[in-house]
Amino acid sequence: MYRNLFREAGYDQKEIDQKVAKAYYDVFEGPNRVYFEVGDTMAYVSDVKNHDARTEGLSYGMMIAVQLNKKDVFDRIWRWSKKYLQHQDGPREAYFAWSINPKTMRRNSEGSASDGELYFITDLLFASNRWGNNTGINYYAEARWILDAMWKKNGDAGIYNIINTEHKQISFVPEGGGYNWTDPSYHLPAFFEVWAMYARDGHEQFYKDCADTARAFLHRACAAGTGLNPDYTEFSGQPHNTRMQSVFRYDSWRVPMNIAMDYNWFGKDRAWQHDYARRFQAFLRSKGIDQFGDQFNLDGTPPEYILQAGGFRKLRHSLGLVSTSAASVLMDTDKHSLDFVRALWDAKLQPYDDGYFDPYYDGLLYLFSLMHLSGKYHIIKPSPH
């Protein structure tokens, strides 16, 4: 069911397994790791260059751990996230503060970023399927607490469901005005399909509708010529401009990987997804497969304003986008597209020539993409425990 694109590109299975293991070591255990253990039972994942831990990275760490069957890592991150970020009562009950300084333990925000909850719920459902609920953490009960609390939030005190229930689309944030627009990289139809299969909370048809709506939304959000999407959009798919113009930047890198996941897991929109991959790859190839930049206007021209990262304001050939563009090859049957897979194989998680280094975002997208392309990123179905 799950293609191994590295095998298709001619690499040996032992080398492939070593490649994934090395990336896991670099991100979770090596000298430049972003995973840090706390005491005997907890750990967190940190965006080290921004000096915080955020629900994005914590929930990514848990997804990697459940996919690779690393229960101790999963449990540690979950315990830390629950203790320090999850609201235990009040209007935000069961939601998570999206960012905290792990040195001072001061929350940078009390509010949520909707993708964090989206991943946490999916992580917990997969953990329940993989390890059962009698090994120290009742994963299913934890997932249901978030879901059940989510459905009780109706705008009182400005707090809402993470899904805009009128539009059946994930919100940018589930409170205030952020409930009324979105981020294309949060649209993971595959995760809503998983909720429909395993949440068992009575909202199965709604989640299936959300998956279909996410697919239709992505058709609108990705530019016809280039396949590029804005970082932030209205529910229509049109750019939502904040302080600066909404163009293809860091958040957007995740979109090709997310669409590839949906193609690979459920295959309900194959014709469009195949065409999207062809357009997106053709655009990147036109910029040079070994040199394309990482921020674009939707027509493929360089943006007027370059968003900085880690104190650097420049366009670069970023590992994160190299990774997710390779994942897009899952939607393609053209042998020509394996060039992107080989480019990822040859890429390195290491500092750039100017000293900039992002082992967190580049590193996590790199590891996710290696997992996808080696067939190690699955729907985790219930197993006898």
Render pLDDT for 19-71 as a digit per residue (tens, 0 to 9): 999 999 999 999 999 999 999 999 999 999 999 999 999 999 999 999 999 99
* Residues tagged active-site: 56, 251
Q: How many CB atoms lie within 10 A of CB 149?
A: 17
- Beta strands, E only, the chain: 35-38, 42-45, 53-54, 99-101, 106-109, 163-164, 169-170
**DSSP, res 106:** E
Handedness of CA 209, 215, 220, 222 (dihedral sign): positive
Res 340: pLDDT: 98
pLDDT tens, position by position, 79-116: 999 999 999 999 999 999 999 999 999 999 999 999 99
Helix (H) / strand (E) containing 153: none
**Which residue in 166, 182, 49, 58 sits closest to 114, CA to CA?**
182
Dump pLDDT digits (tens) for 286-299. 999 999 999 999 99
Dihedral angle of Cα 171, 144, 92, 112, to the nearest 10 degrees: -40
The single residue listed with the structure tokens 């689309």 is 169
* Local confidence pLDDT in tens for the 385 residues of the chain: 799 999 999 999 999 999 999 999 999 999 999 999 999 999 999 999 999 999 999 999 999 999 999 999 999 999 999 999 999 999 999 999 999 999 999 999 999 999 999 999 999 999 999 999 999 999 999 999 999 999 999 999 999 999 999 999 999 999 999 999 999 999 999 999 999 999 999 999 999 999 999 999 999 999 999 999 999 999 999 999 888 899 999 999 999 999 999 999 999 999 999 999 999 999 999 999 999 999 999 999 999 999 999 999 999 999 999 999 999 999 988 889 999 999 999 999 999 999 999 999 999 999 999 999 999 999 999 987 6
Nearest CA to 374 among 90, 113, 106, 20? Answer: 20
The token pair at 307 is: 């968003």
Is residue 39 helix, strand or coil?
Answer: coil
